[in-house]
A and B are shown apart, each in its own frame.
Chain A
Amino acid sequence: EAQVTQNPRYLITVTGKKLTVTCSQNMNHEYMSWYRQDPGLGLRQIYYSMNVEVTDKGDVPEGYKVSRKEKRNFPLILESPSPNQTSLYFCASSFWQGEETQYFGPGTRLLVL
């Protein structure tokens, strides 16, 4: 089954404790990205990757890091989480050039205390 998986689905942590949210897709997609969704602000892109070892900032990259060492995986790293990073995070993937739909993961709900 074609899918994007994220782990963990729910996470409660404390300020400053490094965490990683994993994202994996099984569709051989070149393009992967991370979004955060906040009430009243909608979905905003954090980082994206056009292929292995190629990443770039989206609209709200501050406080986040990503890596793309393998085509199927695109982890999101919060080196020192802060309460304003409490949000619902989505990973997405697609073939390049936007001719195909983007597939979204189930989301990771993060609470930073």
Chain B
Amino acid sequence: KQEVTQIPAALSVPEGENLVLNCSFTDSAIYNLQWFRQDPGKGLTSLLLIQSSQREQTSGRLNASLDKSSGRSTLYIAASQPGDSATYLCAVMESGGGADGLTFGKGTHLIIQP
């Protein structure tokens, strides 16, 4: 059964720093991988979606990479801002059409200090 692990579980850095969040998964037979952001009391917002055939995706200050063979993904946040404070979740959809839904990691709780 697919397992998704996120490291670190929590991270606190000063504003302006570049940072990397890590995600690993045990079964490389994935359809895609998504990074989500979750704010307290709110739902999940999709940040980046990487198809299994892709190596990376970029959106503004965010860059996500995927190394399917090694079962790893990273989310790079450039020039962090206090508004980036949130929990970041990594999720994989396994091959076969995704009927089984997404398997989530437990998240990285990020705090950006002003």
Interface size on A, residues (CB 8 A): 28
Counting chain B CB atoms within 10 Å of each CB, the highest count among A4, A56, A107 belongs to: A107
Distance A4 CA – B5 CA, assembled complex (angstroms) = 27
Q: Do residues B106 and A42 form an inter-chain contact, with CB atoms below 8 A?
A: yes
Q: Do residues A33 and B101 form an inter-chain contact, with CB atoms below 8 A?
A: yes
Q: Do residues B31 and A98 form an inter-chain contact, with CB atoms below 8 A?
A: yes
Tell me the B75-103 residues at the A interface (CB within 8 Å): 89, 91, 93, 97-102
Q: In the complex, what residues of B have CB within 8 A of residue A102's CB?
A: 34, 46, 102
The bracket for how many chain B residues form the interface is 20 to 34
Q: In the complex, what residues of B have CB within 8 A of residue A74's CB?
A: none
Given A42-B107, A102-B34, residue A90 in contact with residue B101 (CB < 8 A): no
- Across the interface, B98 reaches (CB within 8 A) one of A56, A97, A104, namely A97
In the complex, whether B49 has a CB less than 8 A from a CB of chain A is yes
Q: Do residues A98 and B106 form an inter-chain contact, with CB atoms below 8 A?
A: no
Q: In the complex, what residues of A have CB within 8 A of residue B107's CB?
A: 42
Q: In the complex, what residues of A have CB within 8 A of residue B43's CB?
A: 4, 90, 104-107
Q: In the complex, what residues of A have CB within 8 A of residue B99's CB?
A: 48, 50, 56
In the complex, whether A103 has a CB less than 8 A from a CB of chain B is yes
Interface on A for B, CB 8 Å cutoff? 4, 31, 33, 35, 40-45, 48, 50, 56, 58, 90, 92, 96-107
Interface on B for A, CB 8 Å cutoff? 31-32, 34, 36, 41-46, 49, 51, 89, 91, 93, 97-102, 104-107
Please list 12 pairs of residues, one from A and one from B, whose beta carbons are closer than 8 Å in the complex, sorted by A's number: A31-B98, A33-B101, A42-B89, A43-B89, A43-B104, A45-B100, A48-B100, A58-B100, A97-B97, A97-B98, A98-B98, A99-B51
